[in-house]
Chain A
Amino acid sequence: MIFPERLKTLHSRTPERVAVYLQFPNRDDVPISIDQLLRGSQSFARVYERKGIEPGEVIILILQHSENLIYAFWGAILHGAIPSIMPFLTDKLSPERYRSDLAALISVTKPAAIVTYPDFEGEVRSAITEGSSVRSVIVADQIEMGLDIDFDSLSGFLRKPGDIVLLQHSSGTTGLQKGVALSHQSVFNQLDAYGKSLSLNEKDVVASWLPLYHDMGLIAGFIMPILSGIPLVLMSPFDWVRAPYKLMHSITKYQATLLWLPNFAYNFFAQKIRNRHLEDVDLSSLRAVINCSEPVRWESHQAFYKRFKDFGLNLEALQTSYAMAENVFSVTQSPLGNVPVVDEIDREAFMSERVAKSPVDGHPTIKMMSSGRPLENAKVRIVDEQSVDVPERVIGEIILKSDCMLTGYYNRGDLTEKAFVDGWYRTGDYGYIVNEDVFVTGRKKDMIIVGGRNIYPQDLEMLTYEVPGVHPGRSVAFGMFDDVQGTEDVVVIAEVDSNDVSEQQQIADAIRLHVTKNSAIALRYVNVVGPKWIIKTSSGKTARAANKAKFMDELRMKR
């Protein structure tokens, strides 16, 4: 099966059925029927053809939440080109950094075209250098809509199931991002397996505010509902973060049944909505609210349930999944109908022995929540450093095999090769298994996960060194779990020569500004300290765990 064929089938059955309800803050919802979706997309496909974009070439989409984003994406599919949705520039990031990141992306991905919006055209053009692969910058607003659909004239129908259908770029901090290349067949294999585990059916409605440049938003909150013939209610992440209550009204209005959220969003929803904003909200239609893309927390589910149980939310609707772009999306899913398994374990054994043991009377415990069971098309193993399987309840690296894996990191065969061992994909995540339940406990590398975004501490440390007064090797960055927010806070510690408090304060400001402008990461704690604060290993490297422990001790003393 290929994407265009599926679209054609959906169109032949119910052309007038609404595929997407697009929501905006100051406008009525825009319903887009399958027929409109295909017409709009065909208009883009024609433009790509006229501009000489060949099937199999990459088209980068840098567009705001709009009809055009949807048409530009499916238009690329109908043309047989390979779309990749990228974030646009926000207030947070400096234009220079955005430009250099975009230039780096272009040099690896070698797109033939970039589609953007009028205000952003200049920015995009300035990232394109002499000899670049980009032959065409297309401004979305200048495209005329209309014309009946003529399937036979669209070159996307000549694609093969094994061909690459789209690229999904990983959410790195700075510089080169890996483009996960997925085939038509892999995506359909995922949709089949995941659809079964969710008992996806024609009565379902998906509501989403997730960005489409992220795997959870792109697959669960865009491609899956559209290709499965299920209505999607789509809001922009920028609107959601300012008015989370509006999503609750969308769920009520369209009787949405499925919702995917990163862990922090459970806390965000629970804490930041006024009662007056919840009048007439009814969440009883939700049959699954799926926690995914950050470590899942039992406490966050409890807070969410407590806040919304009086608005019709069923406890059994709260579910979990473990997913990654390299597997298209979902690897595991908690069985619907029951709450996910919660495993209360001894904290000491978990921290020091790397084993999930039963609690000992009187000792502190941790509540681990299962991310569910592997989908029927996926196999999961837990292995040690030598790739040898470990027993149940022992923590090791999660490795994975399925029929929906990535084709490769686009134009990065070297990285693809490193990612697999004997045909098993190394996830870089730590976890353990009990019965069939997979518990994800953390990242192998010191990666920080904030709001579903993966951040390498080294990137933040490198940026800190660029601030005057901070010497290379004298900064350490790490994540610290914040129970209130339900996600990690980013902490940067920088050592300077001066013990003068006001001078340290100025450097702290400069670090905050510089890091945010160059990574779009907001730092929660910036701690500028005097000489000899930072703990080093015997080889002179900064020891992140030791520095984190020291920082947390100091923080506790202050409170």
Chain B
Amino acid sequence: MTEVITQLSTFLSTDILKQPDRVIAPDEALISSGLIDSFSLMDVALFVEDTFGVRVEDTELNADVFDNLTQLAALIESRK
């Protein structure tokens, strides 16, 4: 679980936010806060599938399904 969170966090800070030094807390709001905008949601889905072999459906790309790293990691673990 921690490993998944670390990988996700690195991807988000490096590729989406372009601030590699930025640490994203596991409970920090991602979608509802506007940290990840809608155009980047597809990138998250593609990264998750390529890295963990887990599919996140397009209808799941919203804050009701996951809004922080802990929730996204739990979703990934449950489908592995």
Contact = CB atoms under 8 A, between A and B. Distances in A.
A26 B59 contact: yes
B34 A92 contact: yes
Contact of B41 (A25, A242, A505, A525): A242
A242 B33 contact: no
Nearest to B38: A241
Interface size class of A (residues with CB under 8 A): 20 to 34
Nearest to B32: A91
B5 to A, nearest CB: 19
Given A272-B46, A526-B19, A451 B39 contact: yes
* 7 A-B pairs with least C-beta separation: A522-B37, A243-B58, A516-B34, A242-B58, A92-B34, A272-B42, A242-B61
A91 B41 CA distance: 13
A274 B48 CA distance: 13
Interface string A499-543: 001000100110011001100101011100000000000000000
A522 B34 contact: yes
A274 B21 CA distance: 31
A92 B32 CA distance: 7
A92 B37 contact: yes
Interface string B37-53: 11111110010010000
A511 B35 CA distance: 11
B31 interface: yes
B42 A91 contact: no
Given A91-B34, A92-B34, A522 B58 contact: no
A93 B34 CA distance: 8
A231 interface: no
A120 interface: no
Interface of A: 25-26, 91-93, 238-239, 241-244, 246, 268, 272, 274, 451, 501, 505, 508-509, 512-513, 516-517, 520, 522, 524-526
A501 B31 CA distance: 26
Contacts of A512: 17, 35
A505 B34 contact: no
Contacts of B41: 241-242
Contacts, number: 63
Interface residues of B, number: 25
If over half of B's interface residues share one DSSP class (helix, strand or loop), that class is named, otherwise mixed; here it is loop
A508 B24 CA distance: 13
Contacts of B37: 92, 516, 522
Given A241-B38, A505-B21, A508-B19, A91 B63 contact: yes
A505 B38 contact: no
A242 B18 contact: no
Interface string B52-72: 000000110111000000000
Contacts of B40: 522
Contacts of B21: 501, 505
Nearest to B61: A242
A238 B33 CA distance: 17
Contact of A241 (B18, B19, B22, B42): B42
Most buried by B among A25, A93, A272: A272
A46 to B, nearest CB: 36
